[in-house]
C-alpha cells in the first residue's frame, strides 16, 4: 500500500492504562473528551419518537434543524444569519476531516491546510486523507501567530483552521484578527467553536460576529448537550462556500438521521441544560486544578473548554502522564498527541463523575 494509516492517537495509551489499573477502585480515564453526564430528557424523548425514520433526511438539514441552529446563533452570539447559510454535518469530526479535500475540488491549484501547531489532530489528518499538505501555524499567548505564516504557504492555502476555545489548551483565539487575515489573503477561515458554550473568560464568541464572508463556523451538539453518540453538528457562514459544500456533501450521502435532526433541533432551543452543565464542568476543573498544584503540576484554570493543560518542571508529557497514572490512577493524554509543540504538557478531560474525580484528588493528596 502507498498509504498506511498512522496509529489512532488514543491507542497509544495502553501503558498508561496498565499503570492506572493497579489502583484499588480502578483507573479514572480522563484521556478522551467523551461526555459522561446525561443528555436532557426531553431531547431523548423526541429522539425516541423516530420522527422521519422512514425517509432519507435532507443532507443540508431539515428546515427545523437549520432554523434552530440559526436561532441559537442569534441568541448566543447576536448574529443574524439566513437559514440557507447553515447546513448540517454528521458530527463535526467528519466535517473537519473532509473539508480540505472538498475545497481542493473547488480550488485545485491550492493544496495546503494551515492549522494551529498545538491542536486537535484531525485538522492535519484531514489534509493527509485528502493527499494535501498540512502546515502548522505557531501559537503565541494562545493565539495563532498569523504573521509567522510563510507567504508561499499562504499562496497555496485552501483553509486556515482556528479552534477557540482550544482543544487541548483551552485558550481563546483572536477571531476578528483571523477573519480579517483570511479576507486580506483570500483564504477561507474555518473556526471550530465546539467548546464555545464552555467559555470561562467572558462570554462565548464566534467568528461570525466579524462578518460572514470568507469564514465558516463549525458547531457540534456533542459537548453542548452531552450527545456525542448521535453525531450531529452544523457549519455556517459564507453563502457561496456553504452552498458548494452542501452540494458536494449531498452527492457523498452525508446525512444526519431524521430522528436525530428532530431531537437536536429541540436541544438547540434550550439553554437551561447547558447552564447546568457549565456549572458541573467549572466545579470539576477547579477540583482537579486545586488537587494538582500541591504536587508540583502547573494546572491553570482554562479560559475555555473542559480540559486542563498541565505541565511539571523536568518532565515531558509522557513522563508526567505516567506519574499521574501511577500516583492517582488518572489516565490523561500526553500533549505530544496534539503536535510536537505540546510535548511538555498533558491534557486532562474532566469527563468523569464527581465522585471519581474526588477519588483522583484524594489519591494525589496521599501521594504527595
Q: Are residues 245 and 134 in the same domain?
A: yes
Helix (H, G, I), strand (E, B) or coil at 9: helix
Q: Are residues 64 and 206 in the same domain?
A: yes
Percentage, residues of the chain above pLDDT 70: 100
Q: Are residues 217 and 307 in the same domain?
A: no
Q: Residue 2: what pLDDT?
A: 78
Q: How far is Cα 66 from Cα 56, in angstroms, rounded to an integer?
A: 17
Please enumerate in sequence order all residues whose Cβ is within 8 A of that of 52, keeping only pairs 6 or more positions apart, or say none: 62, 257, 258, 259, 261, 262
C-beta of residue 330 within 8 angstroms of C-beta of residue 291: no
Q: Is residue 148 assigned to a domain?
A: yes
| Sequence-distant contacts of 51-56: CB under 8 A, at least 24 apart | 51/258, 51/259, 51/262, 52/257, 52/258, 52/259, 52/261, 52/262, 53/257, 53/258, 53/259, 55/258, 56/255
Residue 108 has pLDDT above 80, yes or no: yes
Q: Is residue 356 assigned to a domain?
A: yes
Question: 165: cis peptide before it, omega within 30°?
Answer: yes
Q: Is residue 229 assigned to a domain?
A: yes
Q: Is residue 88 assigned to a domain?
A: yes
The helix (run of H) or strand (run of E) holding residue 29 is strand 28-29
C-alpha cell at 261: 435532526
The helix (run of H) or strand (run of E) holding residue 246 is helix 239-251
Q: How far is Cα 131 from Cα 270, in angstroms, rounded to an integer?
A: 41
Q: Residue 1: what pLDDT?
A: 65
Phi-psi region of 135 (alpha: psi -120 to 50; beta: other; left: phi over 0): beta
Q: Are residues 250 and 294 in the same domain?
A: no
What's the whole-number mean pLDDT along residues 249-270? 97
What's the whole-number mean pLDDT along residues 172-178? 98
Helix (H, G, I), strand (E, B) or coil at 270: coil
C-beta of residue 137 within 8 angstroms of C-beta of residue 114: yes
Longest dimension (CA), the chain: 59
Q: Pick the last residue of a domain from 268, 289, 323.
A: 268
Q: Are residues 244 and 355 in the same domain?
A: no
Q: Are residues 298 and 223 in the same domain?
A: no
Indicate the number of domains in the chain: 2
DSSP 83-95: GGGEEEESSHHHH
Q: How far is Cα 161 from Cα 80, in angstroms, rounded to an integer?
A: 23
Instruction: Report the length, in residues, of the chain.
Output: 368
What's the whole-number mean pLDDT along residues 224-251? 98
CATH code of residue 125: 3.40.640.10
Q: Are residues 252 and 320 in the same domain?
A: no
Q: Is residue 135 assigned to a domain?
A: yes
| pLDDT class of 9 with cuts at 50, 70, 90 | confident
Could you read off the pLDDT of 137-165 as tens digits, one per residue? Answer: 999 999 999 999 999 999 999 999 999 99
Q: Are residues 225 and 282 in the same domain?
A: no
Q: Are residues 73 and 116 in the same domain?
A: yes
What's the whole-number mean pLDDT along residues 80-109? 97
Q: Pick the last residue of a domain from 253, 268, 283.
A: 268
Q: Are residues 183 and 204 in the same domain?
A: yes
CATH code of residue 343: 3.90.1150.10
**Torsions phi, psi of 353, nearest 5?**
-60, 160
Residue 67 has pLDDT above 70, yes or no: yes
Q: Is residue 40 assigned to a domain?
A: no
Helix (H, G, I), strand (E, B) or coil at 275: helix
Q: How far is Cα 268 from Cα 266, in angstroms, rounded to an integer?
A: 5
Q: Pick the last residue of a domain from 232, 252, 268.
A: 268
Q: Is residue 358 assigned to a domain?
A: yes
Q: Residue 227: what pLDDT?
A: 98
Q: Are residues 70 and 82 in the same domain?
A: yes
Provide the residue range defining the domain that includes 19.
9-30+272-367
Q: Is residue 41 assigned to a domain?
A: no
Q: Are residues 312 and 234 in the same domain?
A: no
What's the whole-number mean pLDDT along residues 107-127? 97
Amino acid at each position: 500500500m502507498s498509504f498506511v494509516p498512522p496509529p489512532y492517537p488514543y491507542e497509544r495509551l495502553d501503558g498508561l492504562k496498565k499503570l492506572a489499573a493497579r489502583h484499588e477502585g480502578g483507573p479514572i480515564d480522563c484521556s478522551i473528551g467523551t461526555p459522561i453526564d446525561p443528555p436532557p430528557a426531553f431531547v431523548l424523548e423526541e429522539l425516541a419518537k423516530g420522527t422521519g425514520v422512514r425517509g432519507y433526511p435532507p443532507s443540508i438539514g431539515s428546515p427545523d434543524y437549520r432554523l434552530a441552529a440559526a436561532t441559537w446563533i442569534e441568541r448566543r452570539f447576536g448574529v443574524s444569519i439566513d437559514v440557507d447559510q447553515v447546513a448540517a454535518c454528521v458530527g463535526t469530526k467528519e466535517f473537519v476531516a473532509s473539508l480540505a479535500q472538498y475545497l481542493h475540488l473547488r480550488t485545485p491549484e491550492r493544496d495546503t491546510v494551515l492549522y494551529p501547531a498545538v491542536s486537535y489532530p484531525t485538522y492535519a489528518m484531514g489534509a493527509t486523507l485528502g493527499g494535501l499538505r498540512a502546515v502548522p501555524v505557531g501559537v503565541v499567548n494562545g493565539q495563532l501567530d498569523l504573521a509567522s505564516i510563510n507567504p508561499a504557504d499562504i499562496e497555496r492555502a485552501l483553509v486556515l483552521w482556528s479552534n477557540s476555545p482550544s482543544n487541548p489548551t483551552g485558550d481563546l483565539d483572536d477571531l476578528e484578527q483571523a477573519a480579517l487575515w483570511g479576507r486580506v489573503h483570500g483564504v477561507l477561515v474555518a473556526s471550530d467553536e465546539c467548546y464555545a458554550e464552555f467559555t470561562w473568560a467572558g462570554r462565548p464568541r464566534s467568528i461570525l460576529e466579524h462578518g460572514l464572508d470568507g469564514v465558516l463556523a463549525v458547531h457540534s451538539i456533542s459537548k453542548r448537550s452531552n450527545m456525542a453518540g448521535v453525531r450531529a453538528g452544523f457549519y455556517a457562514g459564507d453563502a457561496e462556500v456553504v452552498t458548494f459544500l452542501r452540494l458536494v456533501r449531498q452527492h457523498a450521502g452525508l446525512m444526519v438521521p431524521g430522528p436525530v435532526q428532530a431531537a437536536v433541533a429541540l436541544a438547540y432551543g434550550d439553554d437551561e441544560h447547558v447552564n447546568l452543565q457549565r456549572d458541573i464542568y467549572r466545579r470539576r476543573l477547579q477540583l482537579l486544578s486545586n488537587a494538582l498544584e500541591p504536587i508540583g503540576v502547573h494546572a491553570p484554570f482554562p479560559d475555555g473548554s473542559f480540559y486542563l493543560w498541565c505541565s511539571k518542571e523536568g518532565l515531558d508529557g509522557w513522563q508526567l502522564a505516567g506519574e499521574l497514572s501511577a500516583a492517582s490512577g488518572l489516565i490523561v493524554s500526553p500533549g505530544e498527541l496534539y503536535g510536537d509543540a505540546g510535548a511538555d504538557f498533558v491534557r486532562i478531560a474532566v469527563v468523569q463523575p464527581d465522585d471519581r474525580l474526588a477519588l483522583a484528588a484524594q489519591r494525589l493528596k496521599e501521594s504527595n
